[in-house]
């Protein structure tokens, strides 16, 4: 596949930093080589010498002095090599990408930074962007400055509707835009990466929901020419994902092995399932005559529609606080923020079942009062 | 000052996320508020429970449950609040910025990310940016992708020359371009690559010119704590009567480079542009890194911090002295250099070669010595450069001696090679 047509001029202009390239020389160098090229500070002068992390299962990760140096010193832009290897093994295991040999994987400071750099690599002001609607606000934040022409694709419980997607793209000739048609099995859907016969998928993975959000560790898998552009951007900006965070994740994965890792993800899944069930119970108890929703089959959000309210924005931002409940108005997830939106997003990740009940009760009162307000505004017009 | 003229078209379209707006509701809310807004994962499921680090000297720092929790969860885009407050106290103490009440400070993922995002915020392609020539190579890399108009200003042993700066700006303004000179970038202490320090008087001259042409000054100062003679030159921030300085600080040379923590001080309207971009990209600077440095600085107090700085200065001074010794032993008559008063670099000029690139990049490794060719730091990288940058931070005195011996041989061979070609 030819990738150059996807790149902005700024991305095409990127050149490797010579100093970082020279640092790669060290890997093949003879022990006699005196290396005075990189401006590395001397790690012996860093004040942290060693460390220890106790896990919730009681086991400990030891950061001995040599490992602590890896935590504290500049590292390679694509990521701490042991972690990169672990993540490549995991990706190959989970997705078996059909064109794995032509792909690369790098560690990013959270998956969103990978997404941001990927979009900045491709989007020029006014470009078309195909996205599902509603769309994650983080993505909209990245795109907003570029004033893109959105092609928002409506969806159902399974996400983007292929017919709607085809219709939106129909104004371009097929040879200008290649579409892929695949049947998606209904039980555990395979990733786009796993079906990527053309090498056109960039996949963004995150450890934020399962290991830690504050460590800022995610990873990007994609075609080498595109991942390389992201690496060049990282070389002149953050340099690399935080080293200690990478080392901790690597050591943890090493300690757990595959079995331990999947045992942990199972436990996370079970926990969020309980949270979801408690949320649904609270919603059914208080909101069944006021809201509509689809049961989420994963994740941490409930997407609520309020058919009798014209737009949830002011109701939430101006009046919800007085009712002691806050959630996110649906307009924040819409490509066109000038249109009214009847939706709201509730997160059930952190809130206790008691507070879910209280929150839904408060929300019901808020909605009822809003309906009265809407009525009186309508009659006074 | 009206900052809107400095903001690029793209940056002016950045908006705060709805969720961060909602978070402001948390400041004055009742304890009965049920928060269903942000998609924070539940920290119960994070597998880390306790963390202890051992410092040099053997002292142990144990992170409390709350502190470790803060280290593992998403945080504010402009930085972990206790850490930001700590840094603000330090900046006020060190620089006494004349407009401190109208300034703010944000934490960034290393100071270089702050600079990168500042450039994204300031520059439209037709705008001018002033840089010293030679200039820090990664900064030139940033510019090569954005492709703004570059005003290159030659340097002397104190950095940017005010007379050349003045005439270069005049030339830019009368060029008929639609863009405006927006910013001036410099590394005033132990400049990368030249190792020079800009004196106080020179700084005032440069500031006055920046006022005259209404430029934002990007003060990149990662080596401010690596000065060997106990004389701290006043920063541009400390003389910033207009509110036109963005100062970029780094912990990379002092505490850790790998933790990726720096900070930016300056006018809130300019910091806002950087913060909004942070919100969309990294979301927040690495929390654990911030928590660790905060705990470290708290445990040290002012005294401990001063002692640490004194220790590292002593170390790098000895490294510099060993380097100068090695240079004198093997390169007298072959190279020229200025003795650096701080930092980690020596800028060498080879007396009888017009360019060092091929020698270093093609033959250096075989000659067992690698330095960075000077061309890498020149605004016009097509012109030959007889300079080289040597870093003395991580090599032992024995390695320096061997390295300079190897370098002398390499240069000798190169001179012979050149004469056989001519």
**From the CA of B57, how many Å to the nearest CA of chain A?**
9
pLDDT of residue B103: 97
Measured between beta carbons, the chain B residues lying within 8 angstroms of A329 are: 18
Task: Verify cis geometry, omega within 30 degrees of 0, for the bond prior to A145.
Answer: no
Q: Say how far apart CA A270 and CA A276 lie, in whole Å.
A: 10
Compute the half-sphere exposure of residue B162: CA atoms within 13 Å on the CB side of its CA. Answer: 14
| pLDDT class of A188 with cuts at 50, 70, 90 | low
Please state, for a pLDDT cut of 90, what percent of chain A lies above it: 82
Is the CB of A146 less than 8 angstroms away from the CB of B10? Answer: yes
Distance from CA of A181 to the nearest CA of B (A): 31
- A residues 165-194 near B, CB within 8 Å? none
Long-range contacts of range B336-342, CB-CB < 8 Å, 24 or more positions apart?
B338/B157, B338/B194, B338/B195, B338/B196, B340/B190, B340/B195, B340/B196, B341/B190, B341/B195, B341/B197, B341/B227, B341/B228, B341/B229, B342/B189, B342/B190, B342/B195, B342/B197, B342/B223, B342/B226, B342/B227, B342/B228, B342/B229, B342/B313, B342/B316
| Chain A residues with beta carbon closer than 8 angstroms to that of B40 | 213, 347, 349-350
Give the model confidence (pLDDT) of A113-134 as tens digits: 999 999 999 999 999 999 999 9
Strands A48-55 and A60-63: antiparallel
Angstrom distances, CA of residue A137 to CA of A140, A146, A217: 5, 15, 20
Contacts of A300 in chain B (CB under 8 A): 39, 41
Residues A133 and A139: their CA atoms lie apart, in Å, by 12
Q: Does A25 touch chain B (CB under 8 A)?
A: yes
**Interatomic CA distance for residues B247 and B219, integer angstroms:** 5
pLDDT in tens, chain B (422 residues): 899 999 999 999 998 877 777 776 666 678 888 889 878 899 989 999 999 999 988 999 999 989 999 999 999 999 999 999 999 999 999 999 999 999 999 999 999 999 999 999 999 999 999 999 999 999 999 999 999 999 999 999 999 999 999 999 999 999 888 888 999 999 999 999 999 999 999 999 999 999 999 999 999 999 999 999 877 899 999 999 999 999 999 999 999 999 999 999 999 999 999 999 999 999 999 999 999 999 999 999 999 999 999 999 999 999 999 999 999 999 999 999 999 999 999 999 999 999 999 999 999 989 999 999 999 999 999 999 999 999 999 999 999 999 999 999 999 999 999 888 76
Whether A74 sits inside 8 A of B252 (CB atoms) is: yes
Tokens 């002398």, residue located: B408
A179, pLDDT greater than 60: no
CB B23 within 8 A of CB B17: no
Are the CB atoms for A305 and A291 separated by under 8 Å?
Answer: yes
Opening angle at CA A267, ends A263 and A268, nearest 5: 120
Yes or no, beta carbons of A267 and B45 under 8 Å apart: yes
**CA B18-B22-B24 angle, 5° bins:** 125
Interface test with B, best of A11, A63, A242, A249 (most B CBs within 10 A): A242
* pLDDT score recorded for residue B412: 96
Model confidence band, residue A185 (pLDDT cutoffs 50, 70, 90): very low
What sign does the CA torsion over B147, B151, B156, B159 have? Answer: negative
Query: What are the phi and psi torsion angles at A305 (to 5°)?
Result: -110, 140
Which tops the pLDDT comparison, A27 or B191? Answer: B191
Q: Using an 8 Å Cβ cutoff, are A103 and A97 in contact? A: yes
A325·B316 Cβ contact <8 A: no
**Six-digit token string for A377:** 């505004």
Average pLDDT, chain A: 91
Shortest Cα distance, chain B CAs vs residue A130, angstroms:
19
In this structure, are strands B245-250 and B216-220 parallel, antiparallel, or unpaired? parallel
- Cβ pair A82, A106 in contact under 8 A: no
Using a cut of 0.90, tell me whether the model's pTM lies above it.
Answer: yes
pLDDT tens-digit series, residues B144-181: 999 999 999 999 999 999 999 999 999 999 988 888 89
Span A57-91, pLDDT tens digits: 999 999 999 999 999 999 999 999 999 999 999 99
Going from the C-alpha of B238 to that of each of B47, B184, B213, the distances in angstroms are 45, 17, 20
- From the list A292, A297, A299, the residue with the least C-alpha distance to A343 is A292
pLDDT at position A204 is 97
Q: How far apart are CA A218 and CA B81, in angstroms?
A: 24
Sign of torsion over alpha carbons B37, B39, B45, B46: negative
Q: How many CB pairs under 8 A join A and B?
A: 347
Minimal Cα–Cα distance from A281 to chain B, Å?
Answer: 15
Distance from CA of B162 to the nearest CA of A (A): 28
Closest residue in chain B to residue A361, using alpha carbons only = B34
Pick among B29, B40, B41 to test the A interface (most A CBs inside 10 A): B41
Residues of A in contact with B257 (CB under 8 A): 40-41, 72-74
* Contact criterion met (CB < 8 Å) for B406 and A34: yes
C-beta atoms of B33 and A325 within 8 A: yes
A71 CA to chain B: closest CA distance, Å?
6
Assign A270 a pLDDT band (cuts: 50, 70, 90): very high
CB-based contact A237 B116, cutoff 8 Å:
yes
Note whether A111 contacts B: Cβ–Cβ < 8 A. no
Count of CA atoms in the C-beta half-sphere (13 A) of B204? 4
Distance from CA of A355 to the nearest CA of B (A): 6
pLDDT beyond 60 at A186: no
pLDDT-derived band at A379 (thresholds 50, 70, 90) equals confident
Is A350 in contact with B117 (Cβ distance < 8 A)? Answer: no
The answer to whether the beta carbons of residues A135 and A331 sit under 8 Å apart is: no
Contact A347 B39 (CB under 8 A): yes
Nearest CB to B137; choose among A17, A138, A358: A17
């Amino acid at each position: 596949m030819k990738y150059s047509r996807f790149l902005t001029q700024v991305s095409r202009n990127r050149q490797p930093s010579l100093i970082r390239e020279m640092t790669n020389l060290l890997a093949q160098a003879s022990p006699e080589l005196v290396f005075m090229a990189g401006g590395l500070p001397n790690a012996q002068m860093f004040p942290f010498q060693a460390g220890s992390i106790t896990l919730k299962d009681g086991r400990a990760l030891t950061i001995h002095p040599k490992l602590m140096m890896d935590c504290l010193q500049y590292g390679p832009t694509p990521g701490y090599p042991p972690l990169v290897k672990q993540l490549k093994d995991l990706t190959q295991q989970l997705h078996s990408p059909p064109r794995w040999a032509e792909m690369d994987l790098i560690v990013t400071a959270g998956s969103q930074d990978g997404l941001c750099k990927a979009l900045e690599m491709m989007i020029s002001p006014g470009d078309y962007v195909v996205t599902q609607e509603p769309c994650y606000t983080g993505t909209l934040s990245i795109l907003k400055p570029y004033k893109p022409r959105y092609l928002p694709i409506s969806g159902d419980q399974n996400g983007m509707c292929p017919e709607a997607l085809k219709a939106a793209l129909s104004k371009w000739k097929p040879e200008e835009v290649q579409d892929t048609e695949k049947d998606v099995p209904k039980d555990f859907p395979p990733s786009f990466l796993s079906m990527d016969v053309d090498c056109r998928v960039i996949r963004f993975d995150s450890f934020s929901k399962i290991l830690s959000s504050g460590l800022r560790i995610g990873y990007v898998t994609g075609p080498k020419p595109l991942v390389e552009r992201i690496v060049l951007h990282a070389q002149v900006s953050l340099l690399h994902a935080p080293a200690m965070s990478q080392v901790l994740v690597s050591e943890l994965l090493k300690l757990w092995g595959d079995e331990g890792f999947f045992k942990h993800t199972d436990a996370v899944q079970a926990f969020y399932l309980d949270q979801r069930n408690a949320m649904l119970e609270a919603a059914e108890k208080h909101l069944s005559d006021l809201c509509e929703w689809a049961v989420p089959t994963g994740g941490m959000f409930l997407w609520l529609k309020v058919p009798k309210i014209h737009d949830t924005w002011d109701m939430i931002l101006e009046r919800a606080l007085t009712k002691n409940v806050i959630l996110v108005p649906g307009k924040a997830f819409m490509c066109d923020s000038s249109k009214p939106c009847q939706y709201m997003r509730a997160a059930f990740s952190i809130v206790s079942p008691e507070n879910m009940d209280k929150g839904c009760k408060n929300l019901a009162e808020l909605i009822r009062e809003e309906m009265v307000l809407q009525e009186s505004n309508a009659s006074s017009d | 000052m009206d900052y809107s003229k400095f903001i690029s078209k793209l940056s002016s379209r950045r908006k705060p996320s709805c969720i961060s707006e909602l978070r402001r509701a948390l400041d004055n809310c009742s304890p009965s508020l049920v928060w269903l807004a942000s998609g924070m994962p539940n920290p119960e499921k994070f597998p880390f429970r306790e963390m202890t680090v051992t410092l040099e000297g053997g002292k142990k720092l144990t992170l409390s449950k709350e502190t470790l929790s803060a280290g593992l969860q998403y945080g504010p885009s402009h930085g972990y609040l206790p850490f930001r407050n700590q840094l603000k106290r330090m900046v006020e103490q060190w620089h006494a910025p004349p407009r401190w009440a109208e300034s703010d400070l944000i934490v960034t993922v290393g100071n270089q990310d702050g600079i990168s995002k500042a450039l994204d915020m300031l520059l439209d392609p037709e705008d001018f940016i002033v840089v010293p020539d030679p200039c820090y190579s990664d900064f030139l890399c940033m510019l090569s992708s954005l492709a703004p108009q570059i005003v290159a200003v030659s340097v002397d042993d104190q950095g940017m020359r005010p007379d050349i700066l003045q005439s270069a700006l005049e030339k830019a303004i009368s060029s008929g371009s639609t863009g405006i000179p927006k910013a001036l970038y410099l590394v005033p202490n132990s400049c990368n690559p030249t190792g020079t320090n800009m004196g106080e008087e020179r700084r005032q001259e440069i500031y006055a010119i920046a006022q005259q042409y209404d430029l934002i000054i990007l003060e990149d100062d990662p080596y401010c704590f690596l000065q060997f003679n106990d004389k701290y030159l006043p920063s541009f921030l400390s003389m910033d009567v207009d509110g036109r300085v963005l100062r970029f600080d780094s912990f990379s040379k002092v505490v850790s480079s790998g933790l990726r923590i720096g900070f930016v001080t300056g006018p809130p309207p300019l910091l806002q542009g950087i913060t909004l971009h942070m919100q969309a990209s990294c979301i927040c600077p690495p929390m654990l890194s911030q928590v660790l440095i905060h705990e470290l600085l708290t445990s040290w107090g002012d005294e401990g911090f001063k002692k640490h700085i004194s220790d590292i200065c002593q170390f790098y001074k000895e490294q510099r002295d060993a380097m100068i010794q090695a240079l004198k032993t093997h390169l007298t008559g072959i190279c020229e250099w200025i003795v650096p008063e701080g930092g980690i670099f020596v800028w060498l000029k080879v007396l009888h070669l017009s360019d060092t690139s091929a020698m270093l990049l093609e033959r250096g490794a075989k000659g067992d010595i690698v330095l960075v060719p000077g061309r890498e730091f020149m605004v016009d990288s097509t012109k030959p450069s007889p300079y080289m940058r040597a870093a003395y931070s991580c090599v032992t005195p024995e390695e320096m001696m061997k390295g300079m011996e190897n370098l002398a041989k390499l240069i000798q061979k190169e001179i012979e090679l050149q004469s056989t070609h001519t």
